[in-house]
């Protein structure tokens, strides 16, 4: 009896030990799985931010092929295609995201953004119209403003731009877009004010500097604005002012601005040289 009891006790201990070892293996496996997920998440973030866009596209395509059900990988591919300036493929990728059962309103806004990049304005408007009005984000209202602009619905555009500006801590880009909208309508004073606001928010935004010069030139104000600029930027802005002066018929002023642009630029400024030669040839003829 004692011998049988000893055998039974030993067997129980062995089974218990085996059970502990199995549980331990499972715990290790689960822990490693979590570590791998964390590592993959970090890699995904890198691919979406600092990696070469084409490399990111290849990475997400390769990873998604093995796990097609994962919406985060679908989003990664779609975002990477947009970063790579492959808008048509990006639209298809975002549509695949939106078709996923876990898709969000933010995904639909991103689809609308891709459609606009692919010049599919009507479809983008339909997608935005399907997003509930309770989804109030900067990205949504920025796109709504752009769509309203494309439809020449100026009051709606102004309202959406104003809302978008209030929903971001970095309004320079949307202020620049709003200013360009005013510029295309012929509201040069309003455009000038918005470009100046954009540069107060981000003094390095060259597009806003160039647009500001266009707005001033359209009012026959050919003085450079007092904003931070490099020597190359100064030359480029003078070139823009000169072309605006030509459009206004102020050829003599344009020639002077082009010569200043050539003299200011630290390298050979081919575009300004060609423009000046063309003006001088026309005057001679």
Q: With bands split at pLDDT 50, 70 and 90, how would you rate the model's confidence at 238?
A: very high
Q: Please, which contacts does 123-129 make with residues 24 or more away whose CB atoms are closer than 8 Å?
A: 125/151
Instruction: Report the pLDDT value the prediction gives residue 204, as an integer from 0 to 100.
Output: 96
Q: With bands split at pLDDT 50, 70 and 90, how would you rate the model's confidence at 283?
A: low
More confident residue, 39 or 193: 193
Measured CA to CA, the distance from residue 140 to residue 111 in angstroms comes to 11
Please name the residue that has the structure tokens 């496996």. Answer: 29
Measured CA to CA, the distance from residue 172 to residue 201 in angstroms comes to 5
Measured CA to CA, the distance from residue 114 to residue 264 in angstroms comes to 40
> Does pLDDT of 226 surpass 80?
yes
Q: Are 211 and 180 in contact (CB under 8 A)?
A: yes
> Does pLDDT of 19 surpass 90?
no
Q: Are 126 and 112 in contact (CB under 8 A)?
A: no
Prediction pTM value? 0.80
Chain segment 244-269, per-residue pLDDT in tens: 999 999 999 999 999 999 999 999 99
Please name the residue that has the structure tokens 């359209």. Answer: 218
Give me the domains of the chain, ranges plus CATH numbers. 47-128 (1.25.40.10), 136-223 (1.25.40.10), 230-285 (no CATH)
At residue 206's C-alpha, the angle toward residues 241 and 200, to 5°, is: 105
Q: With bands split at pLDDT 50, 70 and 90, how would you rate the model's confidence at 25?
A: low
């Amino acid at each position: 009896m004692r011998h049988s009891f000893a055998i039974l006790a030993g067997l129980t201990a062995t089974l218990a030990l085996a059970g502990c070892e199995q549980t331990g293996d499972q715990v290790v496996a689960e822990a490693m799985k979590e570590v791998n997920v964390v590592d993959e998440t970090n890699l995904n973030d890198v691919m979406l931010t600092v990696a070469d866009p084409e490399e990111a596209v290849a990475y997400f395509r390769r990873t998604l092929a093995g796990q097609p059900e994962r919406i985060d990988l679908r989003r990664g591919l779609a975002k990477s295609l947009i970063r790579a300036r492959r808008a048509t493929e990006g639209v298809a990728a975002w549509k695949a995201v939106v078709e996923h059962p876990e898709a969000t309103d933010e995904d639909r806004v991103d689809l609308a953004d891709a459609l606009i990049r692919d010049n599919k304005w009507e479809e983008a408007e339909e997608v935005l119209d399907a997003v509930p009005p309770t989804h109030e984000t900067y990205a949504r209202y920025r796109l709504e403003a752009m769509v309203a602009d494309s439809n020449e619905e100026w009051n709606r555009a102004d309202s959406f731009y104003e809302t978008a500006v209030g929903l971001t801590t970095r309004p320079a880009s949307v202020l620049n877009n709003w200013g360009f909208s005013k510029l295309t309508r012929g509201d040069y004073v309003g455009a000038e004010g918005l470009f100046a606001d954009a540069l107060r928010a981000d003094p390095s935004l060259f597009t806003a500097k160039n647009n500001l010069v266009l707005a001033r030139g359209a009012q026959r104000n050919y003085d450079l604005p007092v904003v931070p600029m490099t020597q190359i930027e100064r030359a480029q802005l003078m070139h823009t002012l000169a072309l605006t002066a030509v459009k206004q018929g102020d050829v003599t002023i344009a020639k002077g601005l082009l010569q200043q642009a050539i003299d200011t630029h630290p390298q050979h400024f081919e575009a300004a040289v060609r423009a000046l030669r063309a003006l001088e040839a026309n005057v001679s003829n």
